[in-house]
Structure 1
Amino acid sequence: MIQGLLLALVAGSLVSMQNVFNSKVNEHTGSWATTALVLGMGFAASLTFGLIFEGGRLFSLENMKPWYWISGVIGVGVVICLTLGIRLLGPTYAISIVLISQLGSALWWDSMGWLGLNKVPFTFRQLLGVLVIVGGILVFKLGGGRVHQSASEETNETPPCKIKNEARGA
């Protein structure tokens, strides 16, 4: 169990870090170029590491249901939505909403037992947990406090990356 907790903590940190990198790439390209770059590099890295650690077993897919292949398309949706969401909301707020959505969706899928998952009974405690997280996000977002402006906003200058994107027609 400890190993699972540690892996989940590392995964959460990596996802947040990846989203920051994705948003920085998106400042210099478009959302679709960012998505293609991120998923293309992910494919190359997974293929390389898969061949190193699993060898020929990497391509042993005989018992996989055909509809599982849709996962890659879902990944495109994840990256494009996160990239655009971070651009519109900022990283912390966008990731907070993503976490609520993930938790709510996981709770729904587990409770329904769909897509081959073991059915887990839905309880009031689970609902309360999701609502506490939603309340935390609302406090975070609506709690007030001074919003800090970037140096370019304070001096009414246009950031260099925005000038490049506007020149390209983005």
Structure 2
Amino acid sequence: MILGLLLALFAGALVGLQNIFNSKVNEQSGFYATTTLVLGLGFLASLTFGLIFEGTHLFNLQNMKTWYWFSGLLGVGVVICLVQGIKLLGPTYAISLALTTQLVVALLSDSTGLMGLEKVPFTPKQLIGVLVIVGGIFVFKFVGGNEKQQVSSKVS
């Protein structure tokens, strides 16, 4: 369990950093070039590591449902939407919204057994957890918003 927690924390840090890198690439090249670069390099890295660690077993896909193959297309939407979201909202707000939405979709997927997942009962504790996160985003974005204006007016 500890390894799972550490890996999840590490993944979260990587996602946060990747989105900042992606937004910087987007400033120089546009979001289609950013998406191509991000997913292209990801493909090359995945292929290389897959061949090193799994060899020819990497391509053993006979039992996979055909529509699962299209999950990579979702990655295009993820990169484009997050790059544009960061550009319009800033990294912290955009990523916190994206991660909260990810949590809500995961919770709904678990509780409904979507796509063959093991069904996990929905509890009030889970609802409260999501509401606390949404409340945190609300506080972050809308409470104390005058501080930024006060600082900029003092500088003028």
TM-score w.r.t. the length of structure 2 is 0.93
Q: Who is 2:112 aligned against? A: 112
Larger RCO: 1 or 2 (CA < 8 Å, sep 6+): 1
Q: Who is 2:103 aligned against? A: 103
Q: Who is 1:89 aligned against? A: 89
Name structure 1 gaps, 5 residues minimum: 156-170
Name structure 2 gaps, 5 residues minimum: none
Which is helix-richer, 1 or 2?
Answer: 2
CA distance in 1, matches of 2:70, 2:120: 24
CA distance in 1, matches of 2:114, 2:47: 29
CA distance in 2, matches of 1:90, 1:67: 34
Structure 1 residue 131: Cα displacement: 0.3
TM-score w.r.t. the length of structure 1 is 0.85
Task: Describe how 1:61-100 pairs up with structure 2 within 5 A.
Answer: 61-100=61-100
Structure 1 residue 143: Cα displacement: 2.0
Q: Who is 1:158 aligned against? A: none
Structure 1 counterpart SS, 2:116: coil
* Deviation string, structure 1 residues 63-120 (Cα, Å, up to 9, x no partner): 1111101110011111111011000000000000011101110011111111010111
Does residue 146 (structure 1) correspond to residue 119 (structure 2)? The answer is: no
Structure 1 residue 19: Cα displacement: 0.3
What root-mean-square deviation, in Å, do the aligned CA atoms of Structure 1 and Structure 2 show? 1.5
Q: Who is 1:47 aligned against? A: 47
CA distance in 2, matches of 1:126, 1:43: 35
| Identity among equivalent pairs (%) | 68
Aligned residues: 151
* Deviation string, structure 1 residues 114-157 (Cα, Å, up to 9, x no partner): 101011111111111000000011111112222677xxxx89xx
- The ranges of structure 1 where at least 4 consecutive aligned residues each deviate by more than 3 angstroms after the TM superposition are none
CA distance in 1, matches of 2:57, 2:143: 52
